[in-house]
Structure 1
Amino acid sequence: MSLRLRLLLLIGVSLSLLWCGVAAWTLHDLDRQLRRTLDQRLAMSAQMVAGLMAQLPSPRAGALPSFAGIHAGIACQIVSVRGEVLLRTPGAPEVKASRLPLGYADQQIGGVHWRSYTVEANGLSVTTADRLTERDALLAAVRWAAAVPFIAALAGSLIALWFGVRHGLLPLERLRRALSRRAPDALEPVDSRNLPGDLQPLVASLNDLLGKMALALSRERRLTSDAAHELRTPLTAIKTHLQVARITQGHDAQTALTHAEEGADRLQNTLGQLLTLARVEGEFDWEDGGVALANEVVDLAARDAAPRQAERIAIGPLPQAQLALPQALAVTALRNLLDNALRYSPPGSLVRLSVWREGAFLHFEVADQGPGLSAESMAQATQRFWRARQSADGGSGLGLAIVAAIVERFGGRLALRAEEAGGLCVILTLPARD
Structure 2
Amino acid sequence: MRSLLLGLLLLASACALPPRLAEVRGALRLGPGGPPVAGAWVYLEGPLGAWGARTDGEGGFRLHVPPGAYRAWVEGEGLAGSEVRGLELAPGPQPLGLVALSPFRPGWPRRPPLLEAEAGVEGGLLRYRARLFPQEGLPPLALLVGLGYVPGTLSVGVGEHLYLEEARDTGYRLLDPRGLSGPTTLFLVGYDANNNRVELRLPLWLPGGAGQGGPRRAKAVAYTLARRVEALGFQGGYSLLVRLSWEGGEGPYRVFRETEEGVQEVAYLPQGTTAFTDAGPGLRPGERVCYRVWGPEAQAYACTTPLPPLSARISSPGEGEVTGPTPRLAWAVEGGGGGLSYTFQPVVWDQLTGGGIFLGRTAGTEVQPPPLLPGRPYTFELYLAYAVDDPEDPRAYSVAADRQGSLLGIAVPGPSVNFEVGP
If the TM-score is normalised by the length of the shorter chain, which range does it land in? under 0.3
TM-score normalised over the length of structure 1: 0.22
Higher strand share: 2
Greater share of helix residues, 1 or 2?
1
TM-score, normalised to structure 2's length? 0.22
